[in-house]
């Protein structure tokens, strides 16, 4: 089978397409014939050695994919050959034609869901769902600000925020990106390359501030929103796509009485698998109702994994990029 291999931590362009023997499922495992793979910002951090996890090299990157069960290991229950599944791989391995994983890391998908959609709904939408449902406990009628609202996880937060009944404000760096956020249901738009983010938020909230901020960007945008939080607000730290990890003046949390909450979807999935399964049940229901949808920027063959990942890391993606084995 073909797989993308990271031999050593370093530049993304060092990734290579290699031939490997098909993996054999062990006890409690499945082998899935891969049909589509989601490409995520953390994938780029991981292969460069910049992520929280550092698997032993060489390894196959990737954390989310979708396909068909083609072999079942001994003692594995709950699945049959031919089942259509979306899968996450906590220890990488998704960027390959065939993947072995533990059965509890696979989720049946609706017959109506294309593999490309299923491959992309776990990480970005899963992160946004966990952030807004469990971490922020977002309530209907509250104001939600989404930074980087045209990216994969930003668009997910927009859609999920609307599904949960929030008033959603999208903040992006260009008019083109704001158009995408608007098409996905945002109520208010801020172009922070042309507008002062702090001033715009003050005007849109009547001086009250924002109840919940979803921030996968970091950098200067984070610095601005720390001064725009409502009392009892929740500032969600999701990632640092800007490349700048900001420093937080803790006196602002004291004076304004708001919380800063970290969001690490991978840890959540491992520690609370039953809650994650419940989240996905709700997510698939929203998908079938048309409340959430996948915005796919581009679908590329597995051999073009390097340019696909570079596009994601350069923040040139509107929605998600998919690899097709």
pLDDT tens for each residue of 72-107: 999 999 999 999 999 999 878 999 999 999 998 999
State the pLDDT at residue 179: 94
286 within a domain of the structure (yes/no): no
Q: What is the pLDDT of residue 317?
A: 85
Q: 304-312, long-range: CB within 8 Å, 24+ apart, which pairs?
A: 305/4, 305/15, 305/17, 305/39, 305/95, 306/12, 306/13, 306/15, 308/39, 309/12, 309/15, 309/39, 309/43, 309/44, 309/47, 310/12, 310/13, 310/44, 312/39, 312/40, 312/41, 312/43, 312/44
pLDDT value for 241: 86
Domain boundary among 264, 284, 305: 264
Does 252 lie in the same domain as 137? yes
* 46 backbone dihedrals φ, ψ, rounded to 5°: -60, -50
- Neighbour-count burial of 264, counting CB atoms closer than 10 A to its CB (0-12 exposed, 13-18 middle, 19+ buried): middle
pLDDT in tens, 199-242: 999 999 999 999 999 999 999 999 999 999 999 999 999 999 88
The whole domain housing 12 covers 2-108+295-324
Give me the chain's average pLDDT, please. 94
Read off the CATH number of the domain in which 313 is found: 3.90.180.10
15 pLDDT higher than 90: yes
Residue 278's pLDDT band, with cuts at 50, 70 and 90, is very high
Which CATH number covers residue 204?
3.40.50.720
How many percent of the chain have pLDDT more than 70?
100
Q: What integer pLDDT is reported at residue 130 of this predicted model?
A: 98
My answer on whether 142 and 47 are in the same domain is: no
Give the count of domains, the chain. 2
Do 99 and 46 lie in one domain? The reply is: yes
């Amino acid at each position: 089978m073909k797989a993308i291999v990271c031999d050593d931590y370093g530049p993304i362009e060092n990734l290579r397409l290699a031939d490997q023997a098909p993996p054999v499922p062990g006890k409690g495992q499945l082998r899935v014939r891969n049909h589509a793979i989601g490409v995520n910002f953390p994938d780029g951090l991981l292969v460069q050695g910049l992520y929280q996890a550092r698997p032993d090299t060489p390894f196959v990157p990737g954390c989310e994919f979708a396909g068909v069960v083609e072999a079942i290991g001994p003692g594995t229950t709950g699945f049959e050959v031919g089942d259509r599944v979306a899968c996450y791989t906590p220890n990488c391995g998704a960027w390959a034609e065939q993947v072995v994983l533990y059965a509890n890391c696979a989720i049946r998908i609706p017959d109506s869901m294309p593999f490309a959609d299923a491959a992309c709904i776990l990480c970005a939408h899963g992160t946004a769902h966990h952030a807004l449902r469990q971490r922020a406990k977002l309530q209907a009628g509250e104001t939600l600000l989404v930074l980087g609202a045209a990216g994969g996880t930003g668009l997910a937060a927009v859609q999920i925020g609307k599904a949960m009944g929030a008033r959603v404000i999208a903040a992006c760096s260009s008019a083109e990106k704001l158009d995408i956020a608007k098409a996905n249901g945002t109520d208010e738009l801020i172009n922070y390359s042309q507008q002062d983010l702090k001033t715009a938020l003050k005007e849109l909230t009547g001086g009250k501030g924002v109840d919940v901020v979803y921030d996968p960007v970091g950098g200067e945008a984070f610095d601005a929103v720390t001064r725009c939080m409502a009392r009892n607000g929740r500032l969600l730290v999701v990632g640092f796509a800007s490349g700048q990890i900001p420093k937080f003046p803790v006196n602002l949390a004291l004076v304004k009485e708001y919380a800063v909450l970290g969001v690490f979807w991978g840890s959540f999935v491992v520690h609370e698998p039953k809650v994650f399964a419940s989240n996905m049940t709700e997510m698939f229901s929203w998908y079938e109702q048309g409340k959430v949808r996948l915005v796919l920027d581009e679908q590329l063959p597995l051999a073009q994994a390097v340019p696909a990942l570079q596009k994601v890391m350069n923040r040139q993606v509107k929605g998600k990029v998919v690899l097709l084995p």
